[in-house]
Amino acid sequence: MLRNTGVQLLPADIAEQIIAGNRVVLAQAITLAESQRPQDVTLAHQLITTLLPNTGKSVRIGITGVPGVGKSTFIEAFGTWLTSQQKKIAVLAVDPSSSKTKGSILGDKTRMEKLARNPNAFIRPTPTGNTLGGVANRTRETILLCEAAGFDVILVETVGVGQSETTVRNMVDFFLLLLLAGAGDELQGIKKGIMEMADAVVITKADGENKKAAALACANYQQALHLFNAADSGWQPKVLTSSATENTGIAETWQLVQDYMEHVQTTGYLEKYRQAQNRNWFYESIQTQLLQKIALSEKVNANLARFESEIMNNTLLPSEAARQLLTEVFRGSI
Ligand code: GDP
């Protein structure tokens, strides 16, 4: 590490720098954790293991919503307000679609400009490219690195597409869904599953002509949420309205997060929930690392073309080809 510095530091030295709040070293450590080179992975894991006693003290908040709902504007207002309350905040992103769409959620630097210049905020753009499902693992490791660096609140932003909400839900304490007040059926277009994951819903852009519609949507969603079964946490999800441009609903959102944290700390749910998330991370890692090993295996690559052609000629059953391939990969190694 930290390759581009040309200096070979030991994990313990790097850890010390991170704990001391050195942003440059933190950013480099995150890059290391994002790397797929086996030697980087080993070093990153050593580093984070060293830092483990310094992790776990932040409030981890997931924020989701469709593009255009106002996520970055809300995070800018919310984050700025939190820093005014003497909180240090980190903003991370999980964006599996970023390599394909222009919807890269933190890719362009023009977003959250004010927050980016705030000395008590740290914004980490989303990693791009395909990593065999590794994005989530890297974000989990980044959360731990940021916690060790002393950030009090970690915001993990995700676009409302595909599996990303579930992924983020599984790495945060509190999950916030941003919604627009819409015409017609308020629940149209919102997957019920996402609503069920939310600890709070914020109706955005509650200003100007939109204020009335936002208040109405707020009441409707509050009613809709009552219809769901109680969450495992025992927390009753709440709905708020907010205008990021007028700075309304921002302090209230934080109050809600604090109420929730107090609730889950008192009941012991938070500790159990984080343990369950770690267990889940372990099993997910087995799968991703297994797939990476297989993809990198010379035995696999040497045989793929032959298997493919036999499958396409209908002389080999696909499931049998997979069995033979994996038997070959793991011969004598498990
Ligand atoms: P994202 O794609 O979810 O990150 O959404 P953005 O934060 O980029 O916001 C999308 C558009 O909505 C932008 O044109 C913003 O200026 C606008 N917007 C965001 N928040 C508010 C708000 O509180 N009030 C109003 N009136 N417009 C907003």
**The pLDDT value given to residue 99:** 46
Closest ligand 1 atom number to CA of residue 105 = 4
Q: Of 126, 47, 51, which Cα lies nearest the Cα of 92?
A: 126
Residues 6+ apart with CB under 8 A from 56: 147, 274
CB within 8 Å of 161: residues ≥ 6 apart: 96, 97
Domains annotated for the chain, with CATH where assigned, are 1-54 (1.20.5.170), 56-267 (3.40.50.300), 278-330 (no CATH)
Residue numbers in the chain where pLDDT is lower than 50: 1, 6, 98-103, 106, 108-109, 132, 183-185
Atom of ligand 1 nearest to the CA of 244: 23
Which residue's CA is minimally distant from atom 19 of ligand 1? 70
Instruction: Give the closest residue to 295 by CA, choosing from 136, 133, 132.
Output: 132
Nearest to 93 by CA among 75, 80, 77, 81: 75
Residues with CB under 6 A from ligand 1: 65, 67-73, 204-205, 207, 243-245
The 3-state DSSP class for residue 122 equals strand
CA gap 220, 204 in Å, rounded:
14
Q: Whose CA is nearest to atom 22 of ligand 1?
A: 205
Distance 69 CA to ligand 1 centre (A): 6
pLDDT at residue 263 in the model: 97
Neighbours of 35 (CB within 10 A): 17
Report the nearest atom of ligand 1 relative to the CA of 66: 3
DSSP letter at 126?
A: P
Shortest CA distance to 321 belongs to which of 311, 334, 331, 330? 311
Classify 176 as helix, strand or coil. Answer: strand
Asked if 299 and 333 count as a contact pair (C-beta separation under 8 A), the reply is no
* Ligand 1: centre distance to CA 76 (Å): 11
Q: What pLDDT is stored for residue 132 in this prediction?
A: 47
pLDDT of residue 102: 45
Of residues 103, 100, 110, 98, the one with CA closest to residue 139? 98
For the whole model, what pTM was predicted? 0.89
Q: For residue 67, give the ligand 1 atom closest to its CA.
A: 2
Ligand 1 pocket mutation, candidates 63, 66, 72, 73, criterion most atoms within 8 A of CB: 73
User: Residue 53 CA to chain centroid, in angstroms?
Assistant: 21
